Structure 1
Amino acid sequence: MSSIPATSKGAATRDLILDRAYGLACVGGLDGLSIGTLAHAVGMSKSGVFGHFGSREDLQLAVLDEAGDRFVAHVLHPALKARRGLPRLRAIVVAWLDWVRHASDGGCLFVAAVSEFDDRPGPVRDRLVSHEHQWRQELARAIGLAVETGELRPETDQAQVAFEIFAIALVVHHDAGLFGYEPALQRGLRAFERLVASCSVPGTNPQPA
């Protein structure tokens, strides 16, 4: 039987380390992530971890990118199966609010990272801003498609609606931890439908079943 190429082994090891780092950051924050703690968690030496991530900052950046990939896979990719327009926008919001649940990994890394790095200039903050900006653009694009399908009014301010949807997701995340996920989810969905109704062309916004 042929042996696994060294490059494949290295990639698999890096993925394993990154998976554990992501879990630790969700629970303890991105700023609390250290090479030493991670090395202990994966049963490796510090130098072994350094072989895959040259610095703590490189590790933090990789974890942010991992969080972005997981978010897109959970929220955006499934929603793309829905019809363009309001069905796709609703699918995005429903999946996003499901992402807020975080029953198994401790919380949304991006929400925690914003509170840690919003006032700390540097590469980590820049990467965080980049991810947030990309997601706002995706939201605005989905809203724009609902305008194109004639379901939302032509004068809809797409950036503003994206901002308000973002606000709904944040307050659901806030309330879910304090008052329970289900009531937070239901309030969030009602807030989203109210927002959509305020922008909809009359007769084109049937409520979801």
Structure 2
Amino acid sequence: MKVDGRVERGEQTRRQILRRAAEIASVEGLEGLSIGRLATELEVSKSGVFAHFGSKEELQLSTVRAAAAIFVRQVVDPALAEPPGPGRLDLLLDGWLAYSEGRTFPGGCFFHAVQAEFDARPGRVRDQVAELGARWHGLISDTAAAVPGVTDPDQLAFELIAFLELANTRSVLHDDPRAYERARAAVRSRLAPLSAAGS
């Protein structure tokens, strides 16, 4: 079946818009997005950008979904290829640190940035950001539950995510060159007793 060239071009333009929108939002927040700015930067018409989204809120929601898809491809999918257990947990944590440290988005972790922006604002964007954050915590908790020696996977997930997010903050806000190294050391130290207990 032949794909309509206009449809394919439209989808390609949409992907380009959302990729740039996620890059901007990681630095300036979702409120920093505007249809006019994206049209200018990507050299497309305002009406063309508007036709894809229809409103600023829809642009924000679509940007969050696009950033989530990138995160899943880069961090989650490779880890889920590993059987449940310590190896999968290691891959999730290492993947997150590589995603933030490697500046998949120029502002570090996209979700760390927009959570701070929307944590106290009611609405659809906040709900979506909160849901994705809860899913990430749930994935770490469920993965930790399959690790021998873990008695409170929710607590462990809380601590591990705190290490990751602090590394992101120290790197982005304080330009700390050792932030990710420190986070990896903290993760190893926290998980070492579990490795000993499981051996």
Q: Same fold (TM over 0.5)?
A: yes
Distance 1:3 1:125 in 2: 36
Q: CA deviation at 1:140?
A: 1.2
Indicate the residue corresponding to 1:169 in structure 2: 164
CA deviations 1:68-119 (Å, max 9, x no partner) are 1111111111122334211111111111111121446322221111121111
| Aligned residue type for 2:52 | H
Distance 2:110 2:57 in 1: 16
2:80 is the alignment partner of 1:80: yes
| Aligned residue type for 2:157 | A
In structure 1, the residue corresponding to 2:31 is in which secondary structure? coil
| Aligned alpha-carbon RMSD (Å) | 2.0
CA deviations 1:41-79 (Å, max 9, x no partner) are 111222111100110000000111111111111111112
Indicate the residue corresponding to 1:48 in structure 2: 48
Indicate the residue corresponding to 1:67 in structure 2: 67
Indicate the residue corresponding to 1:120 in structure 2: 121
Distance 1:202 1:40 in 2: 57
Greater Cα offset, 10-19 or 48-57? 10-19
Equivalent residues in 2 for 1:188-203 (5 A)? 188-200=183-195, 202=197
Q: 1:184 to 1:152 in 2, by over 3 A?
A: same
| Aligned residue type for 2:7 | T
Q: Which residue among 149, 166, 172 is the counterpart of 1:152?
A: 149
In structure 1, the residue corresponding to 2:20 is in which secondary structure? helix
Q: CA deviation at 1:23?
A: 1.9
Aligned residues of 2:149 and 2:198 also touching (Cα < 8 A): no
Indicate the residue corresponding to 1:139 in structure 2: 140
Runs (5+) with no aligned partner, structure 2? none
Greater Cα offset, 185-194 or 101-110? 101-110
Distance 1:203 1:77 in 2: 25
2:79 is the alignment partner of 1:94: no
Percent identity over the alignment?
Answer: 36
Aligned residues of 2:35 and 2:56 also touching (Cα < 8 A): yes
Q: CA deviation at 1:18?
A: 1.3
- Which protein is richer in helix relative to its size? 2
Q: What is the total number of aligned residue pairs between the two structures?
A: 196
Runs (5+) with no aligned partner, structure 1? 205-209
Q: Give me the TM-score of the superposition, normalised by structure 1.
A: 0.85
Distance 2:8 2:198 in 1: 55
